[in-house]
Structure 1
Amino acid sequence: MSIEEERLTLGDGSVEQSKPRHGFWDFIWAPLYWFRMLAEEMHWSFVFGVVVIYGISQGLGRGLNRVAVEYYWKDVQKVQPSEAQVYSGIIYLPWTVKPVYGLLTDVVPFAGYRRRPYFMFAGVLGIISMLLLALRKNLHVVLALLSLTAGSASVAIADVTIDACVAENSITHHSLAPDMQSLCGLSSSIGALIGFSVSGFLVHLIGPKGVIGLLSIPSALVFLVGMVLSEPHIPNFDYKQVFQKLLDATKAMWDTLKCPEVWRPCTYMFLTGALSLSIQDGMFYWYTDEKAGPSFSKENVGFIFSVGSVGSLLGVLLYQNFLKDYSFHSTLFWTQLIFGASGMLDLMLVLRLNLKLGLPDYFFVVIDEGVSQMTLRLKWMPLLVLSSKLCPSGIEGTFFALLMSIDNIGELISMWGGGFLLHILNVTRLQFDNLWLAILIRNIMRIVPLSLLFLISGSDPSSSILLNEMPDTKEGAETLKVEDLELVSLVNNT
């Protein structure tokens, strides 16, 4: 055995359970034993795939990508903050069609495999798009935007495909489902923390284009996952069934969306995302401006974002330990209210009130970013739990992806709405006089969803929301077969 254990023996001599000794070295080596156990139970290639996709491609890649792309738009393409905000929304578009990727990887295999070809395609797409940005000089802004959007699509396709693998293993190894979710969450959080921590230093050393070029390495690892992943081969697949399965899935999801218990929360999720206008590019330009703003260095910006990832992880822990048992209605009320109030920290910063209070810019921004990301995660967690309870039996995976896409579309509108707000208030690369007004309007819009809470059920998270039997979707679910719709993820927020 990997860890010394003591057997607890009952009076009749039978063994009740095993209890590990909690020595110092056991504590040090426990994570390695845990990884080894998962690899032995579900094949090492699956564990490798989760670490690569969640930890390196999404976590580490997201940290490097955010800082590098911000400086790429600002210093290389020299676009206005309102334009950069709109471009961020366009780059985000591939995440709004996740159910399409889910249906394809579930019902359309290539060369007898359902997962491996999609990983390989995602890897090649990411490598080409990142290298094009890094190696091509004077790249037109349209081509740059297309390349970044293709890179985003690469990460989204890999994300959906590994979600399907996690769901499949959760079905065949149901007792290890919590361990798999922990592996996904830890990989993502640790990867993001490392990515944000080193992003500023790398941008300073090799420039934003150099860092974007480095992002081809995670894409290459995604391609490697497609090469080594262990999955059963499907010979002689009947492609004539594909259209009917896609049709059945679409009909089942539409019938479910017409249920009041589903469309009302979906409407709230969409509106709360769309109304929370995003002006992060305006804030970034102000952060790094030498005259109007505090003129943070690239290293400082990377560290600030890394603190934000710590705040996000803290939000998960706070919800798990203190808020998860409260009703959706009450939890969403307070988290939305706190989310709106936290935006006042940005207003204090831009109006330089922190200096009047004797608080240095860097210290105040670090606190601001940590609190903002923590409250954003607190707001999102109950919506994630609620989404998982809206999925009908038989089409849980693909319908969950649909709900996440609705949330992503709301976030997309918030990006474009924020870009439009920055434009009409004339917030430019060098002009920030009205940035405080943009922040104030954004904060007010964050409070508006409180008037829409009547759309949310007052039930607690432990109760069921949907009826056990839904006649409108039952037939479609049976036609699809459960094993054809395995896409599900409770750790990825996209």
Structure 2
Amino acid sequence: MYNNTIEDRKAMQRVICIMILFYLIQSYGAYPGLFGLPLTIYLKDNLGLSPAQLATFSSLIFTPWLIRPLYGIIEDTIPIFGYQFKSYFLICYTLATTVLLGLSGLQFNTVSPLIGGLILVNIAIAFSDVLTDKIMVVQGKVFNNTALLQAIQWTALSLGQALLYYIGGWLAQNSSLSIAFLLTAIVPFLGLIATIVLLADEKKQPKTGSFQRGLKSLWLGVKSRQFLTALGFIACLEFTLIPSLVNYIVYYQKESLNFDPQFIGILGTVEAVANALGAIAFGIFASRISRRWLLNLAVGFSVVSTLGLLFIYNMQSAILVSLFFGFFSIVAMLGVLEIAARACPVGAEGSTYAVFMSVYHLVKQPGTILGGYLYDRGVPVSTLVIISAVFTAFCWFLIPLLRLAQKPSL
């Protein structure tokens, strides 16, 4: 039973700081990173990549996010220098800082050095993200508030991206890719400082288990019916044949709509703000209303907002679609993330939750590649949007299988 003592409140405040800072580092450092929009436009305008080629490039550099369970097993079972978190964070942020500084000094005529460097950056940031998620799951169970911690994570991520997209739009229009990489290198460096300050009191611990035992714990965690259903839900929710709204505008609609890079960056900001508002709403109401009702409503509006892509014809309609899509997609996703977090077994929190997040990242990649190839071969973008909306609608059939309580548990 969690007692709300002064020590507990201080511990909770430290956990909240970790969630906010380290999720901001994830957003600004790699996913999508300060360099995200400048890189997309550079690949299109300078290196001449097609939509399918861009989707393939994005999938390659984000491959490290798809093997997150491996990172989870490693950090669940192998402390470094006696620390389960501090040493790993220091290694990750040092690697990311070094590689980004190296990229800032290069000139790119091919995609090869970009792919190699950005894979290393994403390995470092993805590993640090698994560590952050484990802290969330463990401490969320201690304080009986995983929903609040997840809402804080994604609010920080979304608000950070709101400013990120605006800065990225400005950099894409007024600066260079090298400057974008140089500015991004500051982000993991700040992570080094935050690690030293926020994890200064972490206690050393012995080796917690073998790699084989970690695999066994992972299997026990992910084979439950509820966890598998949650995986299916997030797969249907996130599968799409079209890229993110920003890339959708850049490749499919930029010429017809005549949006400049600065406004495209603003659109990303609007969507991120909507994500933040959705996360805040989830954090406030998750324990007060029926989770089943919340997910049904969120899925319905996600379908509508996806179809809304077909009706973007000016700046006002683009902003409206961004708001709807950003708000309701995050509510649906957080509802299932919280279920998954509570299903993680003790001792394998990092690896089990990482499986779920790997699926979250994985299902986006094949769809956008397939969508790019279909578009290159003459399939209308309207067809791609409709198919994507249908996959989102499949989530309705999975909600009953989650066995959610009719009333929220207080």
| Offset at residue 323 of structure 1 (A) | 7.6
Give the 5 Å matches for 1:29-48: 41-42=10-11
Distance 1:459 1:131, change over 3 A: same
Q: Could you tell me which residue of structure 2 aligns to residue 99 of structure 1?
A: 69
The 5 A counterparts of 1:13-24 are none
Letter in 2 for 1:386: I
Distance 1:138 1:170, change over 3 A: closer
| Structure 1 equivalent of residue 375 of structure 2 | 422
TM-score relative to the length of structure 1: 0.70
Equivalent in the alignment of 2:404: 460
- 1:284 match: 250
SS in 2 for 1:64: coil
Quote the offset at 1:392 in angstroms: 4.4
Distance 1:163 1:186 in 2: 15
- The answer for the alignment partner of 1:214 in structure 2 is 183
Residues 186-210 of structure 1 show CA distances to partners (whole Å, capped at 9, x for unaligned) of: 5333322222232222332322331
Q: How many residues of Structure 1 are paired with residues of Structure 2 in the alignment? A: 399
Q: Which runs of 5+ in 2 are unaligned?
A: none
Q: Counterpart of 1:431?
A: none
- 2:257 aligned with 1:298: no
Partner of 1:161: 131
1:178 Cα deviation from its structure 2 partner: 7.8
* Aligned partner of residue 257 in structure 2, secondary structure: coil
Deviations 1:365-422 (A, max 9, x none): 2222222222322332332233234434664453222222223222222232223323
Does the CA contact (< 8 Å) of 2:64 and 2:119 recur in 1? yes
Aligned mates of 1:316, 1:50 — CA distance in 2: 14
For residue 279 of structure 1, what is the amino acid of its counterpart?
P
Counterparts of 2:132 and 2:273, CA distance in 1: 24
Match of 1:335 among 290, 298, 302: 298
> Which amino acid in structure 1 is aligned with residue 231 of structure 2?
C
SS in 2 for 1:215: helix
C-alpha separation in 2, matches of 1:156 and 1:249: 19
Deviation at 1:131, TM superposition (A): 2.5
Q: Could you say if the C-alpha distance between residues 157 and 407 of structure 1 is closer, same or farther in structure 2, counting changes exceeding 3 Å?
A: same
1:439 to 346, 362, 382: 382
Distance 1:196 1:106, change over 3 A: same
Question: RMSD of the TM alignment (CA)?
Answer: 3.6
- 2 CA distance for matches of 1:182 and 1:386? 13
Partner deviation per Cα, 1:443-472 (whole Å, 9 max, x = no partner): 23321454564444263357799xxxxxxx
- TM-superposed CA distance for 1:294, in Å, is 2.4
Choose which of 338, 353, 360 in structure 2 pairs with 1:385: 338
Distance 1:197 1:400, change over 3 A: same
Alpha-carbon distance, 1:305 to partner: 0.8
Number of the residue aligned with 2:35: 65
Of the three residues 337, 347, 351, the one matched with 2:310 is 347
How far has the Cα of 1:214 moved from its partner?
1.0
Q: Distance between the aligned counterparts of 1:332 and 1:268, measured in 2?
A: 10
Q: Distance in 2 between matches of 1:113 and 1:266?
A: 31
Distance 2:49 2:133 in 1: 36
The SS at the match of 1:278 is coil
1:411-448 CA-to-partner distances (Å, cap 9, x unmatched) read: 222232223323333xxxxxxxx6xx223333233214
1:326–1:227 Cα change, 3 Å: closer
Contact 1:60 1:194 in 2 (8 A): no
1:126-164 CA-to-partner distances (Å, cap 9, x unmatched) read 123323332111353122112222222222112122233
- Map 1:106-185 onto structure 2 (within 5 A): 106-167=76-137, 169-170=139-140, 174=143, 184-185=153-154
Take 2:139 and 2:295, find their aligned partners in 1: how far apart are those partners?
32
Separation of aligned partners in 2, 1:254 and 1:230: 33
**Contact 1:59 1:190 survives alignment (8 Å):** no
Give yes or no for contact 1:282–1:422 (8 Å, CA) kept in 2. Answer: no
Distance of aligned partners of 1:256 and 1:138 in 2 relative to their CA distance in 1, 3 Å threshold: closer
Identical residues among aligned pairs (%): 18
Q: Does 1:326 align with 2:296?
A: no
Alignment equivalent of 1:194, drawn from 160, 163, 170: 163
The structure having more radius of gyration, on CA atoms, is 1
Separation in structure 2 between the aligned mates of residue 372 and residue 216 of structure 1, nearest angstrom: 31
**TM-score of the pair, normalised by structure 2:** 0.82
